[in-house]
Amino acid sequence: MEIKSIGILTSGGDAPGMNAAIRAVTRTAIYAGMRVWGIYRGYQGLIEDQIVEFQTQNVSNIIQQGGTILKTARSMEFKTPEGRKKAYENLKRHDIDALVVIGGDGSITGAANLAREYDVPIVALPGTIDNDLAGTDMTIGYDTAMNTIMDCVDKIRDTATSHQRLFFIEVMGRDAGFLALNGAIATGCEDAIIPEVATQYDQLKALVDNGFRKSKSSAMVIVTESPEGGALKLAERVKKEYPEYDVRVSVLGHLQRGGSPTAADRILASRLGFAAIEALKEGQRNVMMGIHNDHVVNIPFAKAIKKDKPIDEELLTVLRVLSI
Ligand code: ADP
């Protein structure tokens, strides 16, 4: 089937570079002679028919902007077959032949469910600061978030070293430690507490007992957020065991999502957005575009969301050796 018209949406958590991706998809599709429909507020907007035709100028001047001009939403209704039926009916109403979804793990799970029930080609782009999609080396937004974390931690270091403090800095990542681990390497932190490694509290204790006590006037540890309490809980535990230390916590929070995307994220988003339309033209469907060894690759939805993106053990070793 020739694709004459595509819809594009951003869904789930926003990430810097989503706008660059929207621009790339829109412009490539128009270049290929397709009509483009911007779907506002993710799957919820698709269900509620918040759909507007895009021209090239709708995406002018957005490559440098953080957030997403299409807005994003979390939609409980799309998780139900009735919700997805409404979504499909709105695609048909506008004669939209194919869909490009920009989002994270949840958004791609939703895309896979829609594709299973209805005959609509869908291509996804990995848009999440967490870098937790398998098959791609990087996700759109990850590099910008990492750079923001680096700036923040550098500033915290100035005050930490002035006061001989033990600092715990909490970063985002959901179930993935990429931001924490690489953020710690980039800022010369003493350690990173990440969900992929179960025995980290013992290692942290060893660090406090050995390295920090003897040779360092202060220490900084980056911790991945956690529903069980993250950095705050960890700090409490350490304070109890080491009352002699001045323990402080800084939760970076939503500022990690904002800001103008880095060059790396803009280029990644542009390449993947272009590739998404090329893939649709070639008849591909149910794939996420990704980057591997600097080549664009197609990853089947099922593989992308499989949660098997391991942390490179070597990174942990690098962190530990360099923080002696
Ligand atoms: P992210 O895409 O950043 O991981 P979420 O996990 O919040 O963000 O998912 C975004 C949206 O994707 C949800 O609000 C929901 O509309 C849709 N979604 C997530 N999981 C499913 C599912 N199992 N079936 C259908 N839609 C889903």
Confidence of residue 201 (pLDDT cuts 50, 70, 90): confident
Side by side, the strands of the sheet bearing 51-54 are: 51-54, 35-39, 5-10, 98-103, 122-126, 287-292, 295-300
The helix/strand/coil state of 193 is strand
- The mean of the pLDDT values for the chain is 94
Q: Say whether pLDDT at 5 is over 90.
A: yes
Q: Say whether pLDDT at 183 is over 90.
A: yes
pLDDT of amino acid 209:
77
Under a CB-based contact definition with an 8 Å cutoff, are residues 7 and 118 in contact? no
Comparing 18-27, 145-154, 160-169, 275-284, the range with the smallest average pLDDT is 160-169
Strand 287-292 and strand 295-300: the pairing is: antiparallel
Helices 263-281, 18-31: axis angle to 10 degrees equals: 40
Rounded distance, CA 65 to CA 148, Å? 15
Distance from Cα 301 to the centre of ligand 1, integer Å = 13
The helix/strand/coil state of 95 is coil
Q: Say whether pLDDT at 198 is over 80.
A: no
Q: Say whether pLDDT at 214 is over 60.
A: no
pLDDT of amino acid 206:
78
Task: Choose the residue to mutate in 14, 44, 79 for probing ligand 1, maximizing ligand atoms within 8 Å of C-beta.
Answer: 79
What would the mean pLDDT of 259-264 be, rounded to a whole number? 98
pLDDT of amino acid 215:
60
Task: Return the residue whose CA atom lies nearest to atom 15 of ligand 1.
Answer: 75
Q: Say whether pLDDT at 132 is over 80.
A: yes
Under a CB-based contact definition with an 8 Å cutoff, are residues 29 and 63 in contact? no
Q: Taking the mean position of all CA atoms in its chain, how far away is CA 94?
A: 30
Determine whether the shortest distance from the Cβ of 43 to ligand 1 is under 6 A.
yes
What would the mean pLDDT of 193-222 be, rounded to a whole number? 77
Residue with the larger pLDDT of the pair 164 and 136: 136
Distance from Cα 264 to the centre of ligand 1, integer Å = 26
Rounded distance, CA 126 to CA 261, Å? 15
Q: What is the number of the ligand 1 atom nearest to the C-alpha of 128?
A: 3
**What stretches of the chain adopt beta strand conformation (E)?**
5-10, 35-39, 51-54, 98-103, 122-126, 165-171, 191-193, 219-224, 246-251, 287-292, 295-300
What would the mean pLDDT of 167-181 be, rounded to a whole number? 95
pLDDT of amino acid 284:
97
Q: Is 130 a catalytic residue?
A: yes
Rounded distance, CA 263 to CA 63, Å? 10
Residue with the larger pLDDT of the pair 315 and 323: 315
Determine whether the shortest distance from the Cβ of 301 to ligand 1 is under 6 A.
no
Q: What is the number of the ligand 1 atom nearest to the C-alpha of 77?
A: 16
Which range has the top average pLDDT, 143-147, 154-158, 188-192, 194-198?
Answer: 143-147
pLDDT of amino acid 211:
60
Q: What is the number of the ligand 1 atom nearest to the C-alpha of 84?
A: 25
Determine whether the shortest distance from the Cβ of 127 to ligand 1 is under 6 A.
no
What would the mean pLDDT of 50-62 be, rounded to a whole number? 98
Tokens 């002018």, residue located = 60
